Amino acid sequence: MLLGSAGAPRHLVVFEDPQCPYCRQFEEVCGDVLRTARTKGTVAVEYRMRCFLGIESVRADNALALAAEEGRFDELREQLFASQPEEGTGGFTVDDLRELGERAGLTGADYRSGLEEGRYEAWVLQVEQSFQAEDPRGTPAAWLDGRSVDSRILTDPERLGPRLGL
């Protein structure tokens, strides 16, 4: 999912798993930096959501794909991290995702039915296989203009911001 202008001078690819506690910390620490850089037009951020932490992540990524169809990807992504269950605890149930979707403005029947039927779950699993081949290091991880971003820079807003043109 690309957020920001495709014509931005910098391009950041971020790998995240919605169930990853380190990804939640990354969102808490650097989420505003990414949003500010996108708003200023200095960077386009492409989110590549992973699901290697289990079925909970698969369900959450399915919900994010549904949210993207309605232009609410980032809103739901923020809600997922704000309400993240512990890994492997059975969280991100359909009911959980319905409630989080409502908080993100996803109230339509198409979103709800897509959750219940797992509309994009097979696709999510297929995409995970390709991401494993691209960057098997885990999450969060990122590439800036095609080059890997050191995790110490990625998780430090004072160091990341200037690289994004802030």
147: Cβ contacts below 8 Å, ≥ 6 apart: none
3-state DSSP call for residue 40?
helix
Q: In what order do the strands lie in the sheet with 10-16?
A: 2-3, 43-49, 10-16, 141-144, 147-148
Nearest to 79, CA basis, from 99, 50, 59, 52: 99
pLDDT of residue 86: 85
- Within 10 A of 104 (CB to CB), how many other CB atoms are there? 21
Give the E-state strand segments of 9-98 in sequence order: 10-16, 43-49
pLDDT of residue 133: 79
- For the chain, domains (ranges, CATH) are 2-163 (3.40.30.10)
pLDDT, tens digit, for every residue of 8-48? 999 999 999 999 999 999 999 999 999 999 999 999 999 99
pLDDT of residue 135: 62
Helix (H) or strand (E) holding 94: helix 94-103
pLDDT, tens digit, for every residue of 69-82? 999 999 999 999 99
Mode of pairing for the β-strands spanning 147-148 and 141-144: antiparallel
Confidence of residue 88 (pLDDT cuts 50, 70, 90): confident
